[in-house]
Amino acid sequence: MHSIYFTAVLTTAIAIAVLGTVMHQFQLPATGRLLWLAAVLVLPLEPLAFFFVRVPLDHGLVAQLGSTSAVYKWLVTLYAPLTEEPAKLVPLLIPAIRRDIRAETFVRYALVIGVSFAIGEMWFLAERVAGNPAFAGKPFYFFQGYFGERLMVCVFHSAFVALALWRWRRRFALGLAGAMTLHWLGNFPIFLKVWNIGSLGNAFWAAFIDCWSLVYLVATLALLIYLGSHRMVPPKAFYGRRNCPECGSDYAAPIFALNFGQTRYERCPHCRRWHWAKTRKA
């Protein structure tokens, strides 16, 4: 078996574990069987959208415009937002799911749909990597870039779906347009590297994309937390409040700590002593 598949298994397991932890922490209501149904429906949609929508669209545009035209090169940047964002909303074709998506449930649906779509995408990419002779014989840790990128993409896709479903009952088209725009902004630096804007070279654009990805990850996480809890306080949203075993004072979970799943080694802001604290809901 190609080592990329081992990396894909590891990435999938971590994505599912993090998803379960986050959903437990937020404690957002939704019907479990409908969430599973939504996840199953979107799992194969990345390769289906690619082969049955994106590839024919690309062939048609190349035939009409030519692969070297400036218009074609700009239209290519729209492929992912225009094909993937509507694909993620296929579960809305199920009447029971449509009825279950409300202000208090849409973020949970966004997390499940986004991560499921991202898992389908990561296995689609793994299959393509496995078919490339250049990667034959590489150890699984060679694909650490794949590992980190695919986990970040789980967050990105969830944020896109959340933005689309945020306006599900009112101005849905506006929410979907926002999701497509956010998706386009995330991908656009990749095209800047391909075009080598300013003749700055691959090294510059690779570093720029790395920095952009980190900023983008923080922004999409903040968006998800805000939509899910209506407040920009990540530590409190995820880790709740604490009672210090040293001085007995209550305090909000700090941003900086050593994290081990739901247990953290952190410092009390009152007595300034470090101790182990277990996550509990706010």
The contacts of residue 117 (CB under 8 Å, 6+ apart) are: 42, 43, 45, 46, 84, 87, 88, 157, 161
- Rounded distance, CA 40 to CA 137, Å? 32
- Rounded distance, CA 69 to CA 92, Å? 37
- Torsion over CA of 23, 86, 151 and 267, rounded to 10 degrees? -40
One-letter-per-residue 3-state SS of 17-71 = HHHHHHHHHHCCCCCHHHHHHHHHHHCCHHHHHHHHHHHHHHHHHHHHHCCCCHH
Confidence at residue 26, expressed as pLDDT on a 0 to 100 scale: 61
3-state secondary structure of 266: strand
β-partners of residue 274 are 267
Confidence at residue 282, expressed as pLDDT on a 0 to 100 scale: 44
Each residue's pLDDT tens digit in the chain (282 positions)?
889 999 999 999 999 998 887 776 666 556 788 999 999 999 999 999 999 999 999 999 999 999 889 899 999 999 999 999 999 999 999 999 999 998 888 989 999 999 999 999 999 999 999 999 999 888 888 999 999 999 999 999 999 999 999 988 888 999 999 999 999 999 998 888 888 888 888 889 889 999 999 999 999 998 988 887 764 444 555 566 788 888 888 887 776 777 776 678 888 888 988 888 876 544
- Enumerate the domain spans of the chain: 3-232, 240-278
Q: Is 117:84 a contact under the CB 8 Å cutoff?
A: yes
Confidence at residue 233, expressed as pLDDT on a 0 to 100 scale: 47
Q: What is the pTM of this model?
A: 0.81
Residue appearing with tokens 């700090």: 254
Confidence at residue 238, expressed as pLDDT on a 0 to 100 scale: 56
Q: pLDDT tens across 135-158, in order?
A: 988 888 899 999 999 999 999 999
